Chains A and B, each alone.
Chain A
Amino acid sequence: MIIQIFITVVLLATLGFFLSHRPARGMFRLAIVTTVLFGVYLAWFPAYATQIAEFFGVGRGTDLITYVWILLSIFVFILIYIKFAEQNRLLTLLVRRLALLDANNDGNDPDKND
């Protein structure tokens, strides 16, 4: 009973944070809400996870959840990597533009002392 309450609170808090901080678009928003509510449902009715697991040919519900979790982690990792690379690219362009502007403005810019 304690773990169910704990999971429910954490999931709903995450959902609340997500919805208030990210103006997610239609389908994405729907997917997030569905996933979280489904997670809450599974926390209270774990037997249902086992039923789904059996449908997919996985022995136990916990195993299924582990597999899904791993897949989601990989997906999230790739998303973050792409985002990071994009940010890095922008930072590079910004720093380069600034460096060239400085160099063209004068040859006597103060040395960095920071």
Chain B
Amino acid sequence: MGTHHKPGDNELIENCWVIIPAYNEAGIIQSTVAQVRSYFPQVVVVDDGSSDATASLARAAGSSVVSHLVNLGQGAALQTGINFALSRQAEYLVTFDADGQHRVEDILEMLAVLRREQLDIALGSRFIGETENMPPQRYVTLKLAILFTNLCYKLKLTDTHNGLRVMHAEAARRINIRFNGMAHASEILEQIANQKMKYVEMPVKILYTDYSIEKGQRIGGSARILWDLFFGWLTR
């Protein structure tokens, strides 16, 4: 991977924290952290009560680690990571999935646009970009989730459950994730809508590897996302 960005970008990259929520990702966390750290030195893995070696492997790969004593869910892990990054004076915050489905190069693009256009948050979309090997069931679920979310929050998005986001610290301070489970994805969008944040959706490439597909199904998969969405909507 070449570092072909402009010199002025270095400072930007220094002030940027990449947050990786991880639950039992020992199999892949080291390579994900290494990949991110080839561009971004500031990485925090939020170990969400893993029972495997996720935390120590992440630390060995050069990441900061914040460990939940018990498993709370991805939403809770993200909020913990956001709090941590803000306490370290992050200027830009990135949320990045642990399972290796995102590309670090996409962060650079999103950061550049965010800064150039003075926006609050950039959201990754797999439906603008390329996607490889998406399982059909996942496709249907995601489309339903998108329809539901757009209707509820009056947003116009093409992908509502993408883990890759880049936000400015000001926006991060205004986001408060209360749903610990997967419904946090919609919750963030709800807050973007309610607080009239300036957002942009950008194409990102999702790599549906065997690992990420298997993981995706293990953490509840499609039915779970829809249930969380519905329940989240009921109780909000």
Q: Are B69 and A99 in contact (CB under 8 A)?
A: yes
A66 in contact (CB, < 8 A): no
Which of B56, B64, B69 meets A103, CB within 8 Å? B64
Q: A107-B59, A112-B67 are in contact. Are A92 and B76 (CB under 8 A)?
A: yes
Is A99 touching B235 in the complex (CB atoms < 8 A)? no
Shortest Cβ gap from A49 to chain B (Å): 35
A92–B80 alpha-carbon span in the complex (Å): 10
Say yes or no: A103-B65 contact (C-beta < 8 A), given A88-B180, A111-B55: yes
How distant is the Cα of A95 from the Cα of B72 in the complex, in angstroms?
9
Question: How many A-B contacts are there with CB distance less than 8 Å?
Answer: 48
Q: Chain A's nearest CB lies how many Å from the CB of B178?
A: 7
Using Cβ atoms and an 8 Å threshold, which residues of chain A touch B59? 107
Interface size on B, residues (CB 8 A): 22
**Is B66 in the interface zone, CB < 8 Å from A?**
yes
Partner of A100, one of B55, B84, B235: B84
Measured in the bound complex, the distance between the Cα atoms of B67 and A100 in whole Å is 8
Once bound together, how far apart are the Cα atoms of A109 and B55, in whole Å? Answer: 11
Q: Known A85-B235, A89-B178, A92-B76; judge A100-B68 contact (CB<8 A).
A: no
Within the complex, the shortest CB–CB distance from A106 to chain B, in Å, comes to: 11
Indicate if the CB atoms of B87 and A104 lie closer than 8 Å: yes
- Let me know if B66 and A102 touch, CB within 8 A: yes
A102-B66, A112-B67 as given contacts; A92 in contact with B84, CB under 8 Å: no
B95 CB-CB contact with A under 8 Å:
no
- Check A13 for interface membership: any CB of B closer than 8 A: no
Decide if the interface of chain B is mainly helix, strand, loop or mixed: mixed
Partner of B72, one of A92, A102, A104: A92
Bound together, the chains give a CA A104 to CA B83 distance in angstroms of 12
A102's contact among B56, B67, B83, B180, by CB below 8 Å, is which?
B67
Contact A95 B68 (CB under 8 A): yes
Q: Is B79 an interface residue (CB 8 A)?
A: yes
Which of the residues B55, B64, B83, B235 comes within 8 Å of A96, measured between beta carbons? B83
Residues from chain B with Cβ under 8 Å of A103 in the complex: 64-67, 84
Determine the residue in chain A with the shortest Cβ distance to B55.
A111
Given A92-B76, A100-B66, A103-B65, are A111 and B56 neighbors across the interface (CB < 8 Å)?
yes
With both chains docked as a complex, state the minimum distance between the C-beta of A92 and any C-beta of chain B, in angstroms.
5
**Is A98 in contact with chain B by the CB < 8 A criterion?**
yes
> Closest Cβ of chain B: how far from A23's Cβ, in Å?
29
**Contact A95–B65 (Cβ < 8 Å):** no
- Interface residues of chain B, those whose CB is within 8 Å of chain A, are 46, 53, 55-56, 59, 64-70, 72, 76, 79-80, 83-84, 87, 178, 180, 235
